[in-house]
Structure 1
Amino acid sequence: MHVSHLSLHDFRSYDTLELGLEPGVTSLLGRNGQGKTNVVEAVDYLSRLSSHRVSGDQPLVRQGAERAVVRAAVTREGRSATLEVEINPGRSNRARVNRAALPRARDLVGLVRTVVFAPDDLALVKGDPSERRRFADDLQVLLTPRYAGTRADYDRVLKQRSSLLRTARTRGGSAAQGMLATLEVWDERLAALGAEIMVTRAAAVEQLVPLLGKAYEAVARGARRDDAVVTYRPSFEIADLTVVADVEQALLAEVARRRQDEIDRGVTLVGPHRDDLLCTLGELPVKGYASHGEGWSFALALRLASYELLRQPGDDPILVLDDVFAELDATRREQLAELVAGAEQVLVTAAVADDVPEALRGRRLTVADGQVTPDG
């Protein structure tokens, strides 16, 4: 899979950009703030309809514009298609394939797949659980695009249920009791959708473990394949995460057990939105115990394992290495470059050309003053 042409309109710093791309390695070089990352962010946005840099869509629209458009010609297994998304902050986004409108923007998800390495990746292992949940969900969306709908439905239920709890706590008395009587309906929806999410996440993590060990051995000097492990960790004790119906019943039981706590605090305390992925090296968690270098190696291994998992059906995802080499020492730069150099398409951003290893020499473009031009 590769993008052969990218068109941007009012996306980030670009009012208009028309950029031809090729299979293999392409490096975008230029000083910070010139728009390098904006280009690769656009490609990644087409993959998941979300950015690896910000949580909302508003920053993606050029200042003064009402909407942004990202369009790409994508070649996959010898066939080409034009994918397009119109980003409308505060309103529904619109998506098209070969100029034909899709019923929902999220139907675009998964038609192009990306794996992004970025400076913030250290947060995968050192940051809050929300970072690891997002990693697991983004990966699962690319593995099974319909998961995006399940996740969106769960978020809506969670929002409605938590709003009901907050309002009930504020009002109190008989009014609160009447509102809480409707909680059972939301409990059932929360458990049904939450169980599907938890089982799906657990299965993806199980697939990731052997690939993670192999990747960590490759990027960490002297490491063994069984050193690095990631484990899905629900927020409550549950013996089996393989059968959706069983997990649903366990969720309902835990919701009932925590009912008074939720009423007192006005927040939903049970569900996959409170789960975590436990990253360990040997017997110890990475967070709080691993060195900076070990943390970086683990984060790189997670991304490499994701790449290997996504390419198992036989179709390479697009690799984006966004200013990542500046964060790595020389040894890890070379190791990462050797591992990804054979991908069908690799997009690299760097402020300094010398930061890019020779194994990723490829085609080089200069980004300056909103213009992207061939190097030299």
Structure 2
Amino acid sequence: MIVEHLSLVDFRNYATAELALNPGPNVLVGRNGQGKTNLAEAIVFLATLGSHRVSSDAPMVRDGHEAAIVRARLAHGQRKVLIEVQINRQGSNKARVNGAPGRTADLPRYAHVVLFAPEDLQIVRGDPSARRRFADQLLIQRTPRMSAVLGDYDRVLRQRTALLKSARARGIRADALTTLDVWDDKLIALGSEIIDARTRLAADLQPGVADAYAAIAGADHDPRLQWAQSIRGGDPEEGSAQAAGDGADPPGPGDAAAPERTADLFRAALVARRAAELERGLTLVGPHRDDLVLRVRDLPVKGYASHGESWSVALALRLASAELLRHESPAGDPVLILDDVFAELDADRRRRLADLTAGYEQVVVTAAVEEDIPEVLHRHVVRIHAGTISDERAATADEGPEAADG
């Protein structure tokens, strides 16, 4: 897949923006705060329906405006498609495909993107929410209908939690709260699908993560991925839970009994924790409490891995994601976006990462310092200055970088 052209209206610091991109490597150069990452964020939003920087949509709308527009012309081989999303500060977003109204949830069917960013270090070192977010954004690209499943689960979770808080405030006992059973059924149906999809995703990523880690770090320590699930006891959010696979095999794509097994575990866990949930006014069981446990040398990456090992695991997760989409998508390679990543790496890891990504159909690199970009990725250069985009190809031969910035 190729992003041929990106258009923005009232997105972040851009009143309007037009960006033409080439097949192969594209380098966006500009000092920090000029708008490079905003362009990357806009492309990522079309593919994941979310931002890698903020958890809500409102910050992406330019100050003083109620909506932003992100529009992209994509090429899937010889086929062209124009997709557009209106990001509203309040209310639901709206989408168009080839000029006709469409569902926002359908946009990831057309746009496949894998982003590498400094924030990726939080995937391996941060809270469980960062790892859940990584997994769920990849799930949406892999299976776009999961966007609706995840959204429905969040809505049911909010309703169920509100009921628990109300019951707690009114002193209602667990055996008298019969309406909770209805929300339990909905939570279990949606949550079991998410749990099984995440478990399959971890298993499918495992070989690619091991290969990418070896290529980046030059080490033979295979990282391991495994979900710690609250339905199996304990609470990953509070540092305790049994992983899927500890005493039971994780469900596979062809395991017809997997949904029933997960649903049974989920229901039993809700029954066991109901008193605690009423006492705390929280839903303590479900995929919103799970954690993706990452290990290197049989030790958790979080808390034990060095800075270099942590970065290598984070990059390996992204490379494995790209390879997974590459092999599964009829649209071809995902677009790779390397957002200010090379500044974080030593020279050896820069070279290894550049070599691993240079063969993709399209790569977009952002950098504050042009010299940080390895030569294999240093081709089409676009300069960004205070929200102004200047394509280096448009500059005359006697113009220097300062003229091109203007």
Per the TM superposition, whether the score is higher than 0.5 is: yes
Q: When the two structures are superposed, what TM-score results if normalisation uses the length of structure 2?
A: 0.89
Equivalent residue number for residue 344 of structure 1: 361
Structure 2 counterparts to residues 273-288 of structure 1, below 5 A? 273-288=288-303
Does 2:246 correspond to 1:249? no
Amino acid at match of 1:166: K
Aligned mate of 1:373, from 386, 390, 393: 390
Deviation, structure 1 residue 54: 0.7
CA contact (8 A) 1:198 1:241 kept: no
**Aligned positions, number:** 371
The SS at the match of 1:135 is helix
CA contact (8 A) 1:168 1:177 kept: no
Amino acid at match of 1:123: Q
What per-residue deviation string (whole Å, max 9, x for no partner) do you get for residues 264-320 of structure 1? 000000101111111000211111111111100110111111111110036100001
Equivalent residue number for residue 63 of structure 1: 63
Using a 3 Å threshold, how does the CA distance of structure 1 residues 173 and 302 change in structure 2: closer, same or farther?
Answer: closer
Aligned mate of 2:230, from 212, 231, 235: 235
Alpha-carbon distance in structure 1 between the residues aligned to 2:299 and 2:137: 26
Equivalent residue number for residue 296 of structure 1: 311
Structure 2 counterparts to residues 8-19 of structure 1, below 5 A? 8-19=8-19
Does 2:379 correspond to 1:362? yes
Deviation, structure 1 residue 240: 4.6
What per-residue deviation string (whole Å, max 9, x for no partner) do you get for residues 200-219 of structure 1? 11001100001110000000
Which piece of structure 1 moves more, 24-33 or 105-114?
105-114
Which piece of structure 1 moves more, 309-318 or 114-123?
309-318
Amino acid at match of 2:3: V
Alpha-carbon distance in structure 1 between the residues aligned to 2:123 and 2:87: 27
Does 2:350 correspond to 1:333? yes
Segments of 5+ residues of structure 2 without an aligned counterpart are 233-243, 252-257, 393-400, 402-406
Structure 2 counterparts to residues 34-45 of structure 1, below 5 A? 34-45=34-45
Alpha-carbon distance in structure 1 between the residues aligned to 2:108 and 2:207: 26
Q: When the two structures are superposed, what TM-score results if normalisation uses the length of structure 1?
A: 0.96
Segments of 5+ residues of structure 1 without an aligned counterpart are none
Aligned mate of 1:213, from 197, 210, 215: 210
Does 2:121 correspond to 1:106? no
Deviation, structure 1 residue 369: 2.1
Structure 2 counterparts to residues 167-178 of structure 1, below 5 A? 167-173=166-172
Equivalent residue number for residue 188 of structure 1: 185
CA contact (8 A) 2:14 2:387 kept: yes
Say what the alpha-carbon RMSD is for the aligned residues.
1.3
Amino acid at match of 1:356: I
Aligned mate of 1:310, from 297, 314, 325: 325
Equivalent residue number for residue 236 of structure 2: none
Alpha-carbon distance in structure 1 between the residues aligned to 2:108 and 2:333: 16
Using a 3 Å threshold, how does the CA distance of structure 1 residues 173 and 136 change in structure 2: closer, same or farther?
Answer: closer
